[in-house]
A = this chain, B = another copy of it.
């Protein structure tokens, strides 16, 4: 499964000694071709980690032969020396695999502002290369975990299994401490060139990873890569391929929300009746980021007033006295005022559904979020000290 579900890929995950606790911390994913096409999307944070700056350049060439991912350190805000560390990692990988360093993508996750321990990392690359296997996908997924409690993988196939899209992810939405959150590697044996991969990947991330919002904090390290080996020999229809990529991304995105740090609830926020999709997304994000509402959901309190106050901060098209809000399908707010009895809302389960009807059009969007808990505070107040 994972990144080795598609033909043409090998992977491994080892404990290189980057993490002080001895847990697996280095993953290697290799594309054995015949094609080396690739696409990537990266954090839009203007403060970008060294591996993001490096990989953005690599992806401009549209070819990736290998991806190195480490947990145990984000290599962000580490200056020119940190960038040299990333460069050295790519050079070492190229040397061990007999590839070109310009086709090696790098991703890192962990605390910001600390240099990586390069000796264990570089010697770990030799171990990781020796361990490469067609069945290494799970070990790779395990090696990129930080505070994730489970590793995350997903797979989808084309008609009759003619081609496969697989993937792995780490992180807890935007909730992971140190802001080194979401690393995703997707692989496929479909025979496609870089522009086709790029189109499918951007289409998928726009409505999946870009619409999970655990705590509103944007990472310096977010990286999502899609590698194609062409090993199936099949070139799928664009629609079918896009759908498969979207399925795998949505699956992984849902797993990230489900394992968000300290969270006790997964909140599905659907905004309907919007004049535009942008309006729906803006309102969804505003609701997703409202700390008071997130606390209320944690307390299983259907406090719809906090939903309305969040909607009221946006520039979306709506009239305050026409807003409707349902929590777990009970319309507790109608026409901007009191609706059905809030006592009817059952919030005992982990998944909570909020529906906000702007009564201004026919567009919609879904944003996933988490509640705000004392556990979140505890985990994130004691992370680096």
Contact = CB atoms under 8 A, between A and B. Distances in A.
Nearest to A374: B374
A141 to B, nearest CB: 24
B301 A384 contact: yes
B374 A377 contact: yes
Given A296-B380, A305-B178, A47 B217 contact: no
A348 B385 CA distance: 14
Centre residue among A218, A308, A318, A373 by max chain B CB count within 10 A: A308
Nearest to A297: B381
Contact of A289 (B216, B220, B310): B216
Interface string A293-309: 00110111101111011
A231 interface: no
Assign chain A's interface to a size class: 35 or more
A310 B220 CA distance: 9
A338 B78 contact: yes
Contact of A333 (B77, B290, B318, B335): B77
B385 A301 contact: yes
Contact of A112 (B113, B177, B305, B382): B305
A262 to B, nearest CB: 10
Interface string A224-260: 0000000000000000000000000000000000000
Interface in A255-270: none
Contacts of A48: 312, 320
A341 to B, nearest CB: 12
A292 B112 contact: no
A120 to B, nearest CB: 20
- Quick one: copies of this chain in the complex? 2
A349 interface: no
SS of A interface (majority): loop
Given A372-B377, A381-B301, A385-B301, A312 B82 contact: no
A201 to B, nearest CB: 22
Contact of A295 (B220, B337, B338, B381): B381
Contact of A113 (B74, B114, B217, B304): B304
A308 B47 contact: yes
Contacts of A179: 292, 305-306, 309
Interface string A102-143: 000000000111100000000000000000000000000000
With most chain B CB atoms within 10 A of its CB, the pick from A113, A114, A218, A383 is: A113
B309 A218 contact: yes
A290 B77 contact: no
A335 B80 CA distance: 11
A218 B313 contact: yes
Nearest to A291: B215
21 contacts: A45-B312, A45-B313, A46-B311, A46-B312, A47-B311, A76-B309, A78-B338, A112-B305, A112-B308, A113-B305, A177-B292, A217-B290, A217-B309, A217-B310, A220-B305, A220-B309, A295-B377, A298-B381, A303-B384, A373-B377, A374-B378
Given A76-B305, A291-B380, A295-B381, 18 more contacts: A45-B312, A47-B323, A47-B336, A74-B305, A113-B333, A178-B305, A179-B305, A216-B289, A216-B291, A217-B310, A295-B377, A296-B384, A299-B380, A301-B385, A303-B383, A374-B374, A374-B378, A376-B377
10 shortest interchain CB distances as A-B pairs? A112-B305, A299-B381, A47-B312, A79-B337, A295-B380, A374-B374, A45-B312, A301-B385, A46-B312, A113-B305
